A and B are shown apart, each in its own frame.
Chain A
Amino acid sequence: MLFTSYEFIAFLVLVLVGYYIVPKKFQWPLLLVFSYVFYFLADPMYLLFILVTTISAYLVSIKMENINAEMSAYIAEHKAELSKDEKKAYKAKMKAGKWRWLLLCLFLNIGILSVTKYTNFVITNINNLFAGGGPLQLVDMIVPMGISFYTFQTMGYVIDVYRGKQEAQKNPFKLALFVSFFPQLVQGPISRYGDLAPTLFAEHKFDGKTVSFGLGRILWGYFKKLVIADRMLPAVTELVQNPDEYSGAFVFVAMLFYAFELYCDFTGGIDITIGIAETMGIRLAENFNLPYFSKNIKEYWNRWHITMGTWFTDYIFYPISVCGPMLKLSKWSRAHLGEVIGKRVPVYLSSFAVWLTTGIWHGAAWNFIVWGLMNFVVIMISQELEPLYARFHERFKVRGKMPYEVFQIIRTVLLMSAIRMFDCYRDVPLTFKMVGSMFTQWDFSAFTSGALMDIGLSGADYLVLLAGLIIVLGTSIYKARAGSLREALYQKPPFVYYGMMAALFLVIIVFGAYGVGYDSSQFIYNQF
């Protein structure tokens, strides 16, 4: 069930009506039922995978909590008898027990994720080692919807329980809902148990403002997805799938179009997700904070797909940075390579691991891996150049000046968009070739010959896109300067507030790219 299908909208109406008419104590169980129905309708086989993840996370988290309880009770009971060393040894032994359970859970779930998503990638690469095709047959593998998202979300919870940051959920059905909550199953955000659980399991009474805010957010998401992203899709497809025909300046156009398409597609999908939860009074973590207003790549990654970024930071970057071997390596490198290089080694290696994993997480293909590593390279270079930038800013007094900030924003967007071409062309050598052609085969006639009218967009389409992007830009500027636009609109006379929502609805109905004549397009991030 695509978010943009009529079936999903009918499903959503059913969920909302049901949610507010059942007794409040049945609200979360009802959501669990609907979430499983949603997943079942996608493919009954998917249930098997999500059940394995849920059951393993439940059992392991309970087991780890029992170990914690046992440890606390033992220490309390034998406080007087145990020496400091004995206590330390006992704790280490118990922690090792927990560690084994955690590893088991991680191996099982990351294993399922890896096997389902990456088996064919591995087979293809093995076969590539042999001349004339390899000996291995590709496998017809089922890839459960949203597996990357729910696996990471659930493993985050299990790790938090291991670390003692989070109490284990005793009710398996509540944990099942945390894993399978249907709006975020498709493309995130990747929620933390501690943030989501209190609002997910709370009883919510109908509140007009909250529901209208949720509906408004859903409409805003559909506007970005259907009016902009899906209207742009044919042009991006045409430009990217015909590289022989479209090089040079056309690659630049494709790069910009894809940047806007992906932004509107992904943020639109997340708006719908967050809006759906909000209509039920459930608060999901924000996943974007005006990423295209970032002045450098590091800032960009703090604003784009925020929940994924913080997940990688908390569960990969920090553990690697402070693990025993890394600390030893850091010590060794400081001693042998000097302070300057030595202190960078753990940061660089941990960042490398994060970006490699980020690339692999996005897809089973070299283009994603190279995309991840390109981000790593650019971030590290910009980090190394920071002193130079500082001197430049000091010398020319440009920091905080509007034209310079606009320059920084445009530079960041262009750089990120260029790196994203790996995702676009999905072929590493081809991406290098096409990005290179922007510099070697640039021809302004691409903009004047009328060729841009033959890439699947009519003049009317360009007008709609232009108007849509201006609206998105305008609301973004308002948000950056003045805060919540919807809150401001809500303070206006009700007729204005509801009128704006109605206008948005009518715009989507008329100008949306949906129905017969349009290819129904799933959200780009559904694939990850």
Chain B
Amino acid sequence: MKRKRFIAGLLVVALTIGCLWLLQRLLVPKYQTGIVEGSMIEEYYKDESDHEVLFIGDCEVYENFSTITLWENYGITSYIRGSAQQLVWNSYYLLEDALRYETPKVVVFNVLALKYDEPQSEAYNRMSIDGMRWSQSKVDNIRASMMEDENFIDYVFPLLRYHSRWSELTEDDFRHIFSKDLVTHNGYYMRVDVKPQGEFPDPTPLADYTLGEKAMSYMQKMVDLCKEKGIELVLIKAPTEFPHWYDEWDIQVAEFAKKNDVEYINYIPLQDEIGLDMSKDTYDAGLHLNTSGAEKMADYFGAWLTENYDLTDYRSNEKYAAIWQEKVDFYNAMKEQQYYELETYGELKSFGANAIQ
């Protein structure tokens, strides 16, 4: 009887673990429609080809640079490891994680996140971390990012975090329980709609313009890591003007770049040179570029990259050409669908906030 009990107990434990796994798959957010940003970090691992240029940072990279334009115009293989409100330490550990799989020639980091020296939001933490594969980098990322009310174990077993979603499950949760669709184009988040830039509020004067110690130290770690791996680091400030980028911050970043012998380009004053028309090239009144703007930005940036770094034009390489042709087709198909929805409904129906189920 004791043996029978023991075996029954073991079987029940195994079944329970199976149920927990299934429940976790079901209950974690899928980020397939609406807020798709939560899928971005995970998508990186699905792209098995390597990249010569790797972008890291927040929405100012994943919404402002078309990776497909970089390929089509310059043959540059690139990936954007971006996520919503990606903080500097998130970026560092995502870079560290990416370097386990490949060694790009150039890493591009958008500096807007330097304005934050403390974790800001559990939701954004989740979107930057949950999709990472387990490694020391992920562990360190969690430790650096956790808010006061967060627990490490919630990252190990996301079911403990998302258990209460049982009452808000949608069709997406069942459809994508075991597999997810691509939502970006090598990390680029496409939006073809247009909402002209309006008036931004006047910048609020700050009590202290010094960029945070923690944020700066992680940028320093980024520089050191890139130097150690022989990678060129480029610091950029995307061309969008809001949230406001203070001159005092710009000076500090420029000094940091000079001291560490890395490039820093602030694209805000270069909007005209890039060819951006903020009455047409933004989809959310100037916060982010739309696809038209992102293509212009990528074209401009690609020219600069080609000119300054020894990048390979892979368009004549059959293997890469085949891989990227699929990406271009997917890009064009999504673009067509978005234009179709704009023409038919006057707004996007399957993308962005409207698509939240």
Q: Which residues of A approach B to under 8 Å, CB–CB?
A: 6, 208, 458, 460-461, 493-495, 497-499, 501-502, 505-506, 509-518
Contact between chains at B149 and A516 (CB < 8 Å): yes
Alpha-carbon distance between A172 and B169 when the two chains are bound, in angstroms = 57
CB-based contact B8/A494 at 8 Å: yes
Measured CA separation A509–B122 after assembly (Å) = 20
List, in ascending order, chain A residues with CB within 8 A of B15's CB.
Answer: 502
Q: List 20 A-B contacts (CB under 8 A).
A: A6-B151, A208-B2, A493-B8, A494-B5, A494-B8, A495-B8, A498-B12, A501-B12, A502-B16, A502-B19, A505-B16, A506-B19, A509-B20, A509-B23, A509-B159, A509-B160, A511-B166, A515-B154, A516-B122, A517-B164
Q: Which one of A495, A497, A516, A518 has the highest number of Cβ atoms from chain B below 10 Å of its Cβ?
A: A516
Q: Is the CB of B151 within 8 A of A499?
A: no
Instruction: Tell me whether A502 and B166 are in contact in the complex, defined as CB-CB below 8 angstroms, given that A494-B4, A516-B150 are known contacts.
Output: no
Interface pair B167/A208, CB less than 8 Å apart: no
Find chain B residues with CB under 8 A from A501 CB.
12
* Residues on the B chain within 8 Å of A458, using CB: 167
User: In the complex, what residue of chain B is closest to A501 when comparing beta carbons?
Assistant: B12
Structural contact, A510 and B167, CB atoms closer than 8 A: no
Task: Tell me the dominant secondary structure on chain B's binding face.
Answer: helix
Query: Cβ of B153: which chain A residues have Cβ within 8 Å of it?
Result: 6
| Complex contacts, B167 vs chain A, CB 8 Å | 458, 460-461
In the A-B complex, the 4 residue pairs with the smallest Cβ-Cβ separation, listed nearest first, are A494-B8, A460-B167, A498-B12, A502-B16
Tell me the complex Cα distance, A505–B16, Å: 9
Give the contacts of B1-32 with A (CB-CB under 8 A). 2, 4-6, 8-9, 11-13, 15-16, 19-20, 23, 27
> Whole-angstrom distance between the alpha carbons of A454 and B352 in the complex?
29
Name the residue of chain B whose CB is nearest to the CB of A209: B5
| CB-contact partner of A498 in B9, B23, B27, B151, under 8 A | B9
Q: How far, in angstroms, from A461 to B122 measured CA to CA in the complex?
A: 23
Nearest to B151 among chain A residues (CB) is: A6
Known interface pairs A505-B16, A510-B23. Does A515 touch B8 (Cβ–Cβ under 8 Å)?
no
Q: Which residues of A contact B258 (CB under 8 A)?
A: none
Assess whether B8 is in contact with A510, with CB atoms less than 8 Å apart: no
Q: How far is the CA of A377 from the CA of B261 in the complex (A)?
A: 83
- Give the total of B residues in contact with A, Cβ under 8 Å: 28
Give the residue name and chain of the B residue nearest to A458 (CB).
B167
Q: How far is the CB of A310 from chain B (nearest CB, A)?
A: 37
CA distance A265 to B347 in the complex (A): 50
Binding site for A on B (CB under 8 A): 2, 4-6, 8-9, 11-13, 15-16, 19-20, 23, 27, 122, 149-151, 153-154, 159-161, 163-164, 166-167
Chain B residue with Cβ nearest A490: B5
Q: Known pairs A6-B151, A460-B167, A516-B150; list 4 more (Cβ under 8 Å).
A: A495-B12, A506-B19, A509-B23, A510-B23
A208-B2, A494-B5, A516-B161 known; A499+B12 contact, CB < 8 A: yes
Cα A313 to Cα B216 in complex, Å, equals 66
Q: Tell me how far the C-beta of A434 lies from the nearest C-beta in chain B, rounded to whole angstroms.
A: 31
- Name the residue of chain B whose CB is nearest to the CB of A512: B163
- Check A208–B154 contact: CB distance below 8 A: no
Residues of A within 8 A of B154 (CB): 515-516
Q: Which residues of B contact A510 (CB under 8 A)?
A: 23, 27, 163, 166
Bound CA–CA A82/B333 (angstroms): 113
Interface centre among B19, B161, B164, B167, by most chain A C-beta atoms within 10 angstroms, is B164
CB neighbours of B160 from chain A (8 A): 509, 514-515
A506 pairs with B20, CB closer than 8 A:
yes
List of B residues within 8 angstroms of A460 by Cβ: 166-167
From known contacts A6-B153, A516-B154, infer whether A498 and B166 are also in contact, taking CB-CB under 8 Å.
Answer: no
CA distance A511 to B160 in the complex (A): 11
Identify which of B12, B23, B150, B154 gathers the most chain A CB atoms within 10 Å of its CB.
B12
Give bound CA distance, A506 to B164, whole Å: 13
Give the residues in chain A near B4, CB-CB below 8 Å.
494
B275 to chain A, nearest CB (A): 44
A6 to B150, CA, bound (A): 11
Q: In the docked arrangement, what's the CA distance between A518 and B19, Å? A: 24
Closest to B5 in A: A494
Taking each of A461, A494, A505, which has the highest tally of chain B beta carbons within 10 Å of its own beta carbon? A494
For B159, list chain A residues within 8 Å (CB): 509
Pair B149/A502 contact, Cβ less than 8 Å = no
Closest to B15 in A: A502
A518: nearest chain-B partner, CB-CB: B164
Which residues on the B side are within 8 Å of A512 (C-beta)?
Answer: 163
A518 and B149 CA atoms in complex are apart in Å by 10
Among B8, B23, B151, the residue within 8 A (CB) of A506 is B23
